[in-house]
């Protein structure tokens, strides 16, 4: 029996309202993913049409894509942590038979993996990064005739990939710590 039985009905009604609001916010997020894709795509188009210097344009496109990947990693980690906290709050107000009735049984203990929406974002940005690297390596940079043009994009790409990997590891570790503190070791 929940500790706050007298407030359970209010909690369930508010939970219902918040779930609907979250669905709307998730759909809005689909459109927000287009901003960094549009910016980096515009930069690549500018490089392709020779409006931007190749080295600067490719480097800037890498920065935008890697920034978007890191934002996606951070958002996924925050979303997971919030799900962990939400689950603990639900456990204060919901009855044990609400799991399997009001909510699916698996919601009793939240998953620790990536949230599907953010996983899709990460894949999209990763594919766009690979396409930008291929464009730069196969199409644009070899045609400049100057090997120094490779330096800035190579430094930006290498530094960005390293920091992205470090960020992903740190966020995964942080989420795991939160999970273990709230629910024990898996």
- Whether 22 and 13 have beta carbons less than 8 Å apart is answered as no
Q: Is 64 helix (H, G, I), strand (E, B) or coil?
A: helix
Task: Give percent helix, percent strand, percent coil of the chain, each to the nearest 5.
Answer: 85, 0, 15
pTM above 0.85, yes or no: no
Q: Which two tokens stand for residue 101?
A: 């009735």
Provide the residue range defining the domain that includes 122. 5-183
Q: Is 127 exposed, middle or buried (0-12, 13-18, 19+ CB in 10 A)?
A: exposed
Q: Which two tokens stand for residue 6?
A: 């007298």
- Asked whether residue 44 carries a pLDDT value surpassing 80, the answer given is yes
- Asked whether residue 2 carries a pLDDT value surpassing 80, the answer given is no
pLDDT for 61-113, tens place per residue? 999 999 999 999 998 888 888 888 888 888 887 888 888 988 888 888 888 88
Q: Which two tokens stand for residue 114?
A: 């990536």
- DSSP classification of residue 103: B
Taking the mean position of all CA atoms in its chain, how far away is CA 56?
26
Residue with the larger pLDDT of the pair 39 and 32: 39
pLDDT for 131-168, tens place per residue? 999 998 888 777 766 677 788 999 999 999 999 999 99
Q: C-alpha distances in angstroms, 176 versus 20, 121, 170?
A: 28, 21, 10
The strand ranges marked E within the chain are none
- Whether 47 and 59 have beta carbons less than 8 Å apart is answered as no
Residue burial 67-95, b: 16+ Cβ < 10 Å; e: rest:
bbbbbbbebbbebbbebbeebeebbebbe
Number of domains in the chain: 1
């Amino acid at each position: 029996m929940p500790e706050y039985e007298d407030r359970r009905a209010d909690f369930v009604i508010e939970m219902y309202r918040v779930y609907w609001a979250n669905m709307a916010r998730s759909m809005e997020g689909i459109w927000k993913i287009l901003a960094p894709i549009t910016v980096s795509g515009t930069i690549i188009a500018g490089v392709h049409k020779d409006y931007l210097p190749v080295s600067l344009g490719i480097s800037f496109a890498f920065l935008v894509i890697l920034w978007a990947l890191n934002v996606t990693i951070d958002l996924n980690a925050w979303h997971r942590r919030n799900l962990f906290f939400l689950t603990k709050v639900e456990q204060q107000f919901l009855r044990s038979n609400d799991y399997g009735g009001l909510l699916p049984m698996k919601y009793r203990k939240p998953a620790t993996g990536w949230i599907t929406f953010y996983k899709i974002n990460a894949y999209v940005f990763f594919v766009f990064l690979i396409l930008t690297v291929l464009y730069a390596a196969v199409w644009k940079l070899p045609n400049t005739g100057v090997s120094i043009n490779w330096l800035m994009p190579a430094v930006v790409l290498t530094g960005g990939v390293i920091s992205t990997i470090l960020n992903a590891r740190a966020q995964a570790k942080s989420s795991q710590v939160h999970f273990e503190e709230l629910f024990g070791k898996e």
